[in-house]
Structure 1
Amino acid sequence: MKKLSYFLSLVLLTAAIAVAQTENPGPPDKGVREHKMGMMGMGGMPGMPALGHDWWRNSEIAQAINLTDPQKQQLNQIFANHRTKLIQARGDVEIEEGKLSDLLEQDQPDQGAVLQQLSILQQKRNAMENEFTVMSLAFRGVLQPDQWKKLQAVTKERMQKMFFKHHEGEPGPMPPPPQ
């Protein structure tokens, strides 16, 4: 039972850290409410947490991948079409995370209740991930293959910079994998 509690606490802590590290590198347009989509990069477009949920509004990224104004408009519309569902899904996940946390904080957690709540939380996360993946595929449909490859390169570069900024203080090439 203790091992399960430690494992679930670790999962929640990891999720909280990932949400806390999500950054939006470019300021949103006037009137656009900024909100972070948490761990949305998994299963969706690779690197979305590194770029922010509205990466196409970042002039540096748009210029790097030669994004046209009509493409930006299409991406804005796709995001607008999915924004409400994504916000609701993220809220659902946070509510279920809170319920699970409450169960785990009890002196004598009920294993059955914890596992049932964990299952509900996983369903909510899956729903959020599905919505994000649909939106990400729509984004990708707007980009030309060369733009997609450039976006992947920009994503990789930004993720490396973030990694080294948080872990070593200086950006640079990724170290070789351990052998």
Structure 2
Amino acid sequence: MKKIIIVAILAASLLLPSLAFCTGARSMPRDGWWRRPSIAQAINLTDEEKAKLEAAYIQSQRKRLDLKAAAEKEQFELEVLLESASDKEVMAQYAKMTDARNKFGEEMFRFILETRQIIGKERFKQIKDMAKQWRKDARTRSYRNQHWGNDPRLSQPNAAKPGAQQAAQ
């Protein structure tokens, strides 16, 4: 019974992202958004700000790669221990794994805060609003593609349905 509970806890921890990721990263566009001319122009990014964002990203990405590897290592060790170790040892390893994952999430969130510091709170809000709209648009496109296929005529609100031109002729 205890092993079932531990497996359930492990499965839940693998499926649930860290709190920092949920609250911060999803509200921002993907990494490298400052490289897209349309976005940079929309919020009036200067070359100096782009350079600062790029430097901060590189530094953060290096840390995240190391932290991700550490979290994966701790997860592997947990899976190994789950097969034969005592519940106490498994729970101790689980704590190490969650700590490693939290450090990864904290670094992601630290980068978001640094981004806000570089571009200012007003433009940071603009970027968040733009990201929210992009996600909404992407969900709409995904819904249309799932239900209507990839036919571009069907994804346009006033487009004629297939075969309508043939019937009219």
- Establish whether TM, by shorter chain, passes 0.5: yes
Query: 1:122 aligns to what?
Result: 98
Query: 2:114 aligns to what?
Result: 138
SS at match of 1:146: helix
How do 1:16-55 and structure 2 match up within 5 A?
41-42=21-22, 44-48=24-28, 51-55=29-33
Paired with 1:77 and 1:149, the residues of 2 have a C-alpha distance of 21
Q: Which moved more, 1:88-97 or 1:58-67?
A: 58-67
* Change in CA separation of 1:100 and 1:63 when aligned onto 2, cut-off 3 Å: farther
* Change in CA separation of 1:110 and 1:60 when aligned onto 2, cut-off 3 Å: farther
How do 1:105-120 and structure 2 match up within 5 A?
106=83, 110-120=86-96
* Change in CA separation of 1:86 and 1:126 when aligned onto 2, cut-off 3 Å: same
Assess if the C-alpha contact under 8 Å between 1:86 and 1:132 holds in 2: yes
Higher normalized helix content (fraction of residues): 2
Q: What 5-or-longer segments of structure 2 have no aligned partner?
A: 148-154, 156-169
Query: 1:31 aligns to what?
Result: none
Aligned residues: CA RMSD: 3.1
TM-score by length of 1: 0.65
TM-score by length of 2: 0.68
Q: What 5-or-longer segments of structure 1 have no aligned partner?
A: 19-37, 172-179
Assess if the C-alpha contact under 8 Å between 2:20 and 2:106 holds in 1: no
Higher relative contact order (CA 8 A, sep 6+): 2
Paired with 2:140 and 2:79, the residues of 1 have a C-alpha distance of 31
Paired with 1:55 and 1:40, the residues of 2 have a C-alpha distance of 20
Kindly tell me the number of residue pairs found equivalent between the two proteins: 145
Paired with 1:102 and 1:158, the residues of 2 have a C-alpha distance of 41
* Change in CA separation of 1:73 and 1:148 when aligned onto 2, cut-off 3 Å: same
Q: Structure 1 residue 61 and structure 2 residue 63: aligned?
A: no
Paired with 1:116 and 1:100, the residues of 2 have a C-alpha distance of 9
Identity %: 23
Query: 1:9 aligns to what?
Result: 11
Shift of 1:60: 3.5
Q: Deviations 1:74-99 (Å, cap 9, x if unpaired)? A: 10111223332221111111111222
Query: Quick one: which amino acid aligns to residue 80 of structure 1?
Result: I
Assess if the C-alpha contact under 8 Å between 2:81 and 2:90 holds in 1: yes
